[in-house]
Amino acid sequence: MITIALPDQHMHDRLTAQLPEVNLIVWGANDGPPPQQVDLAVLGYLGSACELAAYEGMDVRALQSQSLGYDGVSDQLPTAITYCNAVGVHEASTAELAVGMIISEQRGFPEHFANQQTGTWNQHEQPGVAGTTIVIVGAGGVGNQIADALAIFEANVVRVARTNRSDARGAIQSMDALPALLAKADVVALAVPLTEATTGLVDAEFLAAMKPGALLVNVSRGKVVHTDALVAAASAGQVRAALDVTDPEPLPRDHPLRSTRGITITPHIGGYTSAMHGRVDAVVREQARRLLAGEPLAHVVIEAR
């Protein structure tokens, strides 16, 4: 029998009847050494990569994240442990938030909400989404779902990734084409993983290349955007921004991002919806099936060494 450690009693209660052939325990590294060898330990959702070091020397074969991103993991993960990310859990919800942000900003919801508080009735034209050009930087699960959703609103969607290629959705432009695309884009949505290549991707030069008044939406990682450069560009009226992620994070109460006109912030809630629980459970069930069948784990980001 295999042993899977779960981070809380709620997940244990949900999965007990679904995995009768698995020994399920509630355990994490903060509880001290596990009571027995753990074949797979599911991490808590809002944990930090720096917490992975606590698993050093623990009798754990693999860790299953509840998150899609894995920045910083390779620096902290003990070498004897395999790490898997949560593919298929948060893509739809994160895309949902990105599209909601785009619609909200393009239809002037922040302004209308402020006017509601003051009793102001102010009708004027807004840019909207239909007929606009929206550049999505990132053609993975989140980026593709953003593209699919925006197609319904008759936007001109252009996807950009590392290489120029095509897939079932059509053409994908390479990063080399980005500067020219920025000048035409009404909205630029960021849906890339945080890597050495994407850290600081949106800098002063990037923002200056954007169409005046264009909207930047970030649902990837805060460090993809150079914060000071964004504050300067938004303060000058060059761009607007809707951010689910920031650098730093959590964002201090008095940080300039909070008070800069034209910037809307949500507190990194892209995938944090009730939909995630059933999807995480499905990931754990599939990993259990693989372990019982002697098959490799799915969505391995880093192999044990």
Structure tokens at 182: 């920025």
In 3D, which of 251, 304, 253, 295 has the Cα closest to residue 77? Answer: 304
Q: What pLDDT, on the 0 to 100 scale, is given for residue 47?
A: 83
The pLDDT of 95-123, averaged and rounded, is: 97
The structure tokens 């964002």 sit at 251
Q: What pLDDT, on the 0 to 100 scale, is given for residue 46?
A: 85
Which percentage of the chain shows pLDDT scores above 90?
Answer: 97
Mean pLDDT of the chain: 96
Which amino acid is it at 262? G
Structure tokens at 77: 């993960």
Residue 221, CA atoms < 13 Å, CB-side half-sphere: 18
The pLDDT of 131-150, averaged and rounded, is: 97
Is residue 283's pLDDT more than 90?
Answer: yes
Query: Which residues fall within 8 angstroms of residue 51, CB to CB, at 6 or more apart?
Result: 29, 43, 76
Active-site option among 159, 221, 226, 299 = 221
Per-residue model confidence as pLDDT tens digits over 156-181: 999 999 999 999 999 999 999 999 99
Per-residue model confidence as pLDDT tens digits over 45-62: 988 888 999 999 999 999
Query: Which residues fall within 8 angstroms of residue 10, CB to CB, at 6 or more apart?
Result: none
CB 45 within 8 A of CB 68: no
Q: What pLDDT, on the 0 to 100 scale, is given for residue 256?
A: 97
Q: What pLDDT, on the 0 to 100 scale, is given for residue 48?
A: 84
Bridge partner list, 158: 135
Active-site option among 154, 165, 205, 249 = 249
| CA of residue 292 relative to chain centroid, distance | 31
Active-site option among 61, 159, 268, 299 = 268
Count of CB atoms situated within 10 Å of the CB of 6: 26
Q: CA Rg, the chain, in Å? A: 21
The pLDDT of 281-301, averaged and rounded, is: 98
Per-residue model confidence as pLDDT tens digits over 111-139: 999 999 999 999 999 999 999 999 999 99
Is residue 152's pLDDT more than 90?
Answer: yes
268 is catalytic: yes
Count of CB atoms situated within 10 Å of the CB of 74: 12
Per-residue model confidence as pLDDT tens digits over 5-16: 999 999 999 999
The pLDDT of 272-288, averaged and rounded, is: 97
Strand order, beta sheet including 40-42 = 23-26, 3-6, 40-42, 62-64, 82-84, 300-302
Residues 22, 24, 30, 33, CA torsion sign:
negative
Is residue 196's pLDDT more than 90?
Answer: yes
**Helix/strand/coil for 3:** strand
Distance, in Å, from the CA atom of 190 to the CA atom of 199, rounded to the nearest integer, reads 12
Per-residue model confidence as pLDDT tens digits over 32-43: 999 999 999 999
Per-residue model confidence as pLDDT tens digits over 233-277: 999 999 999 999 999 999 999 999 999 999 999 999 999 999 999
